[in-house]
Amino acid sequence: MATDPICGMFVEDTPQALSHKRGTTTFFFCSQSCRLEFVAPAKEVLKLKVYSFASFAAGAIILALMFFRTTLFGLVGRAAPNHETTNLILLALATPIQFVAGGRFYLGFLHALRARAANMDTLIALGTTTAYAYSAVVALVPHRYGTDTYFDSSVLIIAFILLGRTLEHTMKSRATDALRALVGLQPRVARLRRSGVEYEVPLEQIKVGDEFVVAPGERIATDGRVVEGEAQVDESLVSGESLPVHKRAGDDVVGASVNTNGRLVVAATRVGNDTLLAQIKDLVERAQSGRAPIQRLVDAISAKFVPAVLLIAAASAVAWYLADAPLPILPGAAPVAKAAIVFVAVVIIACPCALGLATPAALLVGVGKGAEHGILVKDTAQLERAARVKTVLFDKTGTLTQAKLRVTDVFAVPGPARDEVLRLAASVEAGSEHPIGKAVVAAALEAKAKLAKTEGFEAASGRGVRAMLGDQRIVAGTMAWLEMNGVNAGPLATELDRLQAEGKSVIAVARGSEALGLVALADTPKEGAAAAIAALHAMGIDTALVSGDNAKTARAVADGLGIRRVHAPVLPADKAHLVEIEKKHGQLVAMVGDGINDAPALAAADVGIALGSGTDVAREAGGLILLKNDPRDVVNAIHLARRTRAKIWQNLFWAFVYNVALIPVAALGLLDPILAGAAMGLSSVTVVGNSLTLRGFRPALESHGTTRAAAAAPAKAPGPATAKPLPMAMPMMQGGSGPETDPVCQMKVDPTTAKWTHEHAGKRYVFCSARCHELFSKEPARFLT
């Protein structure tokens, strides 16, 4: 099964079906017109305009000859021809319109017959052919069936349908203007630098590893890494981020972004189809031709709809042929004429163009707007499901936090100063490649501390480092590492417990055999993380933190961001298992992550949301990708999904109104075939026009943290109403009388009011939620070790 990427209609992907191969992907089409529009859109829209104009011109002349022939010929001093001659003139005018301008409908009808299917071209071809054929017989065999012809109906139906297609194509093209503009802004040349010499070359000649120069005001030729210089780079066209980003040596840059100031020398890392811009274009095009789950309903209806319409049209035609009553719209028509007119009106008004467009038109605009704001949709099915998500699980490191340690506390025992503890720790850590060591050195340099030169540097994996400063040994690392080096770490124990209870990583520092103090580090929350959690709660969406870190650290992060439920420590395989448990509660679950360890959970979730800065594996597993790596875009993605889904349902409503409500009107002889053609064309334009209102989409959560959704939503947050700042210094509640600790998420629970409890090994445990209770009851030992 396949879907027409132009109109969204269901297509049998058989060898007989119309198809076109682009790259490694084969696309299938319901009609020749859709195929032509996909292969050569500019050429096709020009044809549509020419054929529409010719059809309306011929229709106008036919109407004039039918109703004003005496007046028209009188103006040129000639006698009006008789009805037989006039009908032959009308036949000559209508024939090229029927088979040239309307030829696309016959091609689509023939392909549908070969595929043993029925499509919108089936109805158009049968309807217009019926009106044309009856009229042709009247013109060629005078007096047999009277003199009344309906060439005006066949010609103007084709004219209105072609006009609808033209307007539809024009409106749809506007939906992807931003994407085409983005691709068109990529530079055509680059200033290559080799052996100190700079010269311009076509962009196609740039290879991975080549260095090129970007002057102030110029666009960056291709994706790369800065090797020289500093500048503010405007990446708004790619990421949607309005503020320029500071770039210096070692930073990655994206092709087509603008160097606003400074001179950069960039080494190309990705070229051609491998660039981020090319990948965005490919992803958006694929997503815009994808199918949302709701499209299955449309496919099922369409598969039955066309045959049902033909039966209704045939039955109506027979009924009017046998009826003695005059046709309301044409009282003097003969029985055969009555039957033909009703048949044409029914099949034309029922043409399911709007029904087929309802879903893809909204997706076309929604996916494009997402790309404009840095939200890439890989899987339209996940975009549709995102509108109904009720639980969002967040990975911690790199998703809600910066994955960048910073020094938060420096403690010194009586005697040495805190600055001295930090300086000595940084001096010995200067030789370390560990993230903790780098963070300590960065903090010391920021404090303008003068680092001492050490010798004999040694590092013990997982324990710490040591080096000689003059004739004294400086040791930094775990308490066990200090004790292994003959240091009495007792004076540090109380403060160590307090800092670790806050979820911080702590290194102890000693000089010789003397313990000097502690340096505590913590990951920093991403800007907007707390606002994102609060906005999700205001939207009625539950949140939970899923982390491989220890429970204390995860709990501290969750408390600071306003997340009530925590699952930690959780292994990668357990993350996917946790997603499955959440899904068993009957609610759609989204997972947000960035690492290799998040990939199984991203794939298992109903909606996988991967950060653009994450690993390739994570991006492959996710259905939505957030280019800005901003947690607030989780809110914006769900908001976009809800808006898009609402437009799909609105489109379906209008399509059914046109296609279903007017069928009885046509069957009762109350609808002129020409008006039916106009209404059918208008239905497609209405659906596309309604979808285009999505172009006004704006992110629900702005960069300053204010959310329109949160302000308007009356729903109460399932978590804290407001998120707390995250200084990472919230002491954990200790055990004893009073609240007890949920063994799964470490949350404090009042045992007297606990709703979920479990007896294990003679002890009663309490839980904050049904999910934690379910996890514990399946594997108690996992949470008690």
3-class secondary-structure state, position 770: helix
- In 3D space, the residue among 724, 730, 700 whose CA is nearest the CA of residue 713 turns out to be 700
3-state secondary structure labels for all residues of 111-132: HHHHCCCCCHHHHHHHHHHHHH
The one catalytic residue among 395, 542, 598, 606: 395
Q: Note whether 564 and 599 are within 8 A (CB).
A: no
- In 3D space, the residue among 178, 279, 176, 264 whose CA is nearest the CA of residue 219 turns out to be 264
Bridge partners of 327?
Answer: 330
Amino acid at site 359: T
CA dihedral 740, 746, 748, 752 (to 10 degrees): -40
234 carries an active-site annotation: no
- In what helix (H) or strand (E) does residue 277 lie, and over which residues does it extend? helix 276-288
3-class secondary-structure state, position 22: strand
> What contacts 634, CB < 8 A, 6 or more positions away?
392, 532, 536, 590, 592, 609, 626
Strands 375-377 and 245-247: unpaired
Q: Note whether 661 and 357 are within 8 A (CB).
A: no
Strands 231-234 and 223-228: unpaired
3-class secondary-structure state, position 134: helix
Q: What distance in Å separates the CA atoms of residue 687 and residue 355, rounded to the nearest whole number?
A: 9
Strand arrangement, sheet containing 375-377: 375-377, 624-626, 607-611, 588-593, 389-395, 542-546, 565-567
Bridge partners of 405?
Answer: 523
- In what helix (H) or strand (E) does residue 756 lie, and over which residues does it extend? strand 756-760
- In what helix (H) or strand (E) does residue 157 lie, and over which residues does it extend? helix 151-175
Peptide bond into 569 cis (omega under 30): yes
3-class secondary-structure state, position 80: coil
Catalytic machinery residues: 395
